[in-house]
Amino acid sequence: MSAVTAARPSAGRWTALGAGGTVALAFVVVLAAAVAVPWLLAPVSPLAVSPADGFAPPSPAHPFGADESGRDVLVRIVHGARSSVGIGLAATALGAGLGLVIGFASGLGPRWLDSALGRVIEVLFALPTLVLALLLVAVLGSGTGPSVLAIGLATAPGYARILRSRVRTVARGDYVAYARLEGVGRARVLLRHIVPNTLWPLVATATLGIGQAVVWVAALSFLGLGQEPPSPEWGAMLGAGRVYISTAWWMTVFPGLAIVSTATALTVLGRRLSGATA
Amino acid sequence: MLPAARWIAARIGRAVLVVWLVATIVFFALRSSGDPLEAILGGPGSQAGPDAVAAARETYGLDAPLAWQYLVQLWRIATLQLGDSYARRQPVEELIAAQLPGTLLLAVLALALAWVLAVAGATIAASSRGRAGRAVNAVIGGTEIVSTVMPQFWLGAVLILVFASTMRWLPATSQPGDTAGLVLPVITLAVPIAGFLAQVSRDALTEADAAPFALTSRARGAGETRVFLRHTLRHAALPALALSGWAFGNLLSGAVVVEVLFARPGLGRLLQEGALARDVPLVIGVVTVVAVLYVAVIIVSDALELAVDPRLRRAKRQSLAVPETAVGS
């Protein structure tokens, strides 16, 4: 319900982030820095091997330990943000963008179009996200592009569903009716009233959607269908480290913590943006 | 016809339509991706001669027109003949039938555990009041968020690290028929769903607790326990029940990860291996079976909802229930 009643927060509302929201925002800022300028945060190559440090446990020299080839896990996590978060971001942009188009076409278009698109959304919901993503990977092959496409297309029905109901609610609103009565044109009503009132909830949903996309992207890599092991993507690191879990736990635990923290921070922020409690 | 019979007939009709559309989308998606012969003959870069290519094309019926192949595919799905796996050279329906019970067992146990965890969390949150109650609520709310985003491939790995590698209490792998091996996969699968279910149950419980019927019951002298058991708990169960279809989808997504992580044979691992080998008939078969299972679960959960909540019988067609904070399943 809160997504429906969500209003665009004014600048003063940032104080309403609360303690959890502030921590989440700080984490996202650090994350954005790691995506934008990883070399500034960790001026070492994430691929540089150093056999002498193989399986080095966490220590001041390697705070998160080192992997089987002596590569620093913390350095790899910092550099991996660009692929993990970048692919998640691209997939969310694709999914939310497609959802936007389908949602507007369905919410504002003729009735037959709405019912046809509604049926397509219903059908796509019959396929769980990861099952749909694996189907697409089987079609497209594995790698960065297919990961973006697979997760983007697999989440599109979710966004389309949210936007369709939001567009319909807004379009039936009193202020839209008043605007129409005053003789405001269709295009202007769409741009001035419907789009702004629909986009803010989309931003809130897409924020927490990025967190979920990062988890799914990592899952694809973990399953051997995304990024290949030498790349410092978090899911691929975790998948490679799993083999050594009983002797070198840090290879699995820290990349996983990066994924969990990222997804949690984005979920908390997304919920704050949508005005939901807790 | 009885209203119940008509309802069931209408729902089955809609379910058949959904499965047909899924089969159609899947068929054309896979065919648009390139020639399946490459996968049959040993993957990219195979050095098959022209004779072998022609023989395989005929064996798998790939020399017929596309429209005919599509009709053949629909007929096969309707008669449960899903063709031979390219990589394993075995009928797909046999491969799936062998793996289905293990995955369903995992999913049912995980759903049951998720319900228990969700109701327990919501109950504790709702029954803690005052200053301490706020703290308890904050902790439970935070736990819910972390659970919902918890990647199962990581949670499972940490559980293996703690309970299998370090404590040596439970096995790190899960084989069919091994009860101890089920514990960690079921917990791994249940936690994210429990987080989502707890969120909706907690909201519904808070709402029901403040509703007029709860107040009336209290005014007549009913104790808190009685109000909770007789009135508010039922209302908390409703939204969680409505989410069953979505939760089932989430369980199947999770099953892929959990079965790979715990080296457990099952439908999810079959799908992962099929996707790795680009084994088209196998992937089509698993995806179709998942869609059939999903619509069956939706029909059962909708029927249960109608049985529990008579108000819904008068309502028009409900839309699909999905947690507000989930963009997928």
pLDDT at position B190 over 90: yes
pLDDT at position A93 over 90: yes
Contact between chains at B287 and A131 (C-beta distance less than 8 A): yes
End-to-end CA distance of chain A: 14
Q: How confident is the model at residue B282 (pLDDT cuts 50, 70, 90)?
A: confident
Mean pLDDT along residues B73-84: 82
Q: Residue A145 is which amino acid?
A: G
Which contacts qualify for A75-78: CB closer than 8 Å, 24 or more apart? A75/A42, A75/A44, A75/A45, A75/A46, A76/A46, A76/A232, A76/A237, A76/A255, A77/A232, A77/A234, A77/A237, A77/A254, A77/A255, A77/A258, A78/A34, A78/A38, A78/A41, A78/A42, A78/A46
Tell me the two tokens of residue B315: 């309502």
Q: Which residues of A touch B327 (CB under 8 A)?
A: 95, 155, 158-159, 162, 205, 208-209, 212-213
Q: Which residues of A touch B262 (CB under 8 A)?
A: none
* A169 vs A234, more confident: A234
Closest listed residue to residue B194, CA positions, set B253, B120, B261: B120
pLDDT at position A277 over 50: no
Q: How confident is the model at residue A9 (pLDDT cuts 50, 70, 90)?
A: very low
For residue range B132-160, list pLDDT tens digits in order.
Answer: 888 888 888 889 888 988 889 999 999 99
- What is the CATH T-level fold of the domain A17-42+64-276, as seen in this structure? MetI-like fold (1.10.3720)
- What is the CATH T-level fold of the domain B95-328, as seen in this structure? MetI-like fold (1.10.3720)
Distances (CA, A) of A59 to A63, A64, A65: 5, 7, 7
Contact between chains at B327 and A155 (C-beta distance less than 8 A): yes
Contact between chains at A131 and B252 (C-beta distance less than 8 A): yes
Size of interface A-B (CB pairs under 8 A): 183
Q: Which residues of A touch B260 (CB under 8 A)?
A: 222-223
**The pLDDT value given to residue B45:** 57
Task: Measure A190 CA to nearest chain B CA, in Å.
Answer: 25
Contact B148, B196 (CB under 8 A): yes
**The pLDDT value given to residue B270:** 93
For residue range B192-206, list pLDDT tens digits in order.
Answer: 999 988 888 888 888
**The pLDDT value given to residue B319:** 60
Task: Measure A177 CA to nearest chain B CA, in Å.
Answer: 25
**A116 and chain B: CB distance < 8 Å anywhere?**
no
For residue range A180-233, list pLDDT tens digits in order.
Answer: 888 888 788 888 888 888 888 888 889 989 999 999 999 999 998 988 878 889
